[in-house]
Amino acid sequence: MANLPGLGLLALAVMSMVLVGCQTQPMGPCRLDLRPATYKDLPGWKEDKTLKALSAIKRSCATILKKDSSAPMITRGDREGTASDWHPFCNQILDNPPKTESALREVIQRHLKPYLVTCSGESNGLFTGYDEPQLRGSRHRQGRYQTPLYRLPGSKIRYKGMPRSRIVRGGLKGRGLELVWVDDPIAAFFLQIQGSGRVRLENGQMMRLGYAGTNGCGYHAIGKTLIERGALSSSNISRQSIIAWLKAHPRQAESVMSLNKSYVFFRSRYGEGPIGSQGVALTPQRSLAIDRDYISLGTPIWINLEHPDVGAPRIQSLVVAQDTGGAIKGGVRGDLFWGCGDEAAELAGRMKSRGEYYLLLPK
């Protein structure tokens, strides 16, 4: 899912397909329509804690201002425009950041106009979630830490085309490529799907891993395979149900995971993160992955979605388009970043929500 430096590239490219199988396959051609709206049309507009999205907006604005002013961006209802259209809004956000909720809403309302996104006349679409996984590990192979995560091999090592099954059986053993050893091969598999994450070491230190490359083999969605075999149903497919099945069938788990021939290599990274396709650090519950054919990275968006917890209030909040993914296709389609930790993983893994969103574009 993302230039593949962070969650974005690889994660978004495949995570949704792994979790929900055929339910998130790319949509057909979409006739996108941006329908002018007002801020009164945005459900929950005055209730959201919009300042929680300010850091995400500032990161995206800083990136937009570095672009060539004539660079094409979707900034108007006719889906035309250039990066320069964002300059008045972004300059004010960065030069004089709002200090209160009402001040931020006032700046947004002064500079940006909302548009309801419809795809072939339909404003209701599918929204999934993703997170930054956290594993337990050691810098040395010992005790329960028996599953290696590898750094990208150098040009003298023949790894391109080597399938995952061969690598996990020791195809790269003894090359000094082990970056860290973790205690859960299933968690390692899902970390590779995400493309980045964290490993808590024995001494309590946190090691952040970023995407470094792949073995060049094609990706296979094991969730779809488990549905086809009757092991899981399309109605209950989720990351949690897939993990539960793998753990309940340890003799079959590795053979099923190795149906996916793709293998991801990592690098140690520092600073904020994870990094999305726009090249900025993602903000929990405020960063959204979108289809760049329909929405430009850096665009503020108002979302109105079902919550993954049945009966919980709808998610009505300000987010920013900061990531992309191969499975995120269509005009009304998004993947919400939930952050790191058990709760984030639980919500992201179960999220298959219906909802709508509004683009906030320069006036």
What are the tens digits of pLDDT across the range 255-273?
999 999 999 999 998 878 7
Residues ≥6 apart with Cβ < 8 Å to 53: 283, 286, 300, 317, 318, 319, 320
SS3 32: strand
For residues 110-116, average pLDDT: 98
Cβ neighbours, 10 Å, residue 300: 26
pLDDT given at position 28: 53
Average pLDDT over residues 114-126: 94
Q: Is the pLDDT confidence value at 125 over 50?
A: yes
As a whole-number percent, the residues of the chain with pLDDT over 90 amount to 78
Average pLDDT over residues 169-194: 95
- For position 44, what pLDDT does the model report? 97
pLDDT at 21: 40
Mean pLDDT, all residues of the chain:
90
pLDDT at 328: 86
Residue identified by tokens 């850096």 is 298
Q: Do domains 7-24+132-268 and 32-129+277-362 have the same CATH topology?
A: no
Q: What pLDDT is stored for residue 175 in this prediction?
A: 95
The mean pLDDT of 23-28, rounded to a whole number, is 42
Q: Does residue 198 contact residue 205 with C-beta atoms inside 8 Å?
A: no
State the architecture of 7-24+132-268 in CATH terms.
Beta Barrel (2.40)
SS3 call for 355:
strand
Architecture of domain 32-129+277-362: Beta Barrel (2.40)
Distance of CA 35 to the CA centre of its chain: 27
* Interatomic CA distance for residues 201 and 257, integer angstroms: 25
Average pLDDT, integer, range 163-174: 96
- 14-23 average pLDDT score: 42
Once rounded to an integer, what is the mean pLDDT over residues 79-98?
Answer: 97
Using omega within 30 degrees of 0 as the cis cutoff, is the peptide bond preceding 72 cis? no
Tell me the residue type at 152. Answer: L
- Entry pTM: 0.81
CA dihedral 281, 283, 289, 293 (to 10 degrees): -60
Q: What is the mean pLDDT of residues 159-176?
A: 96
Residue 332 has pLDDT above 80, yes or no: yes
What mean pLDDT do residues 235-251 have? Answer: 92
Portion of the chain with pLDDT greater than 70, in percent: 92
What's the average model confidence in pLDDT over 132-155?
A: 96
Residue 128, pLDDT score: 93
Per-residue confidence band for 290, with pLDDT thresholds at 50, 70 and 90: very high
Write down the domain spans for the chain: 7-24+132-268, 32-129+277-362
Better-predicted residue by pLDDT, 53 or 324: 53
Indicate the range of 6-10, 53-57, 167-171, 228-232 predicted with least confidence.
6-10
pLDDT at 67 over 50: yes
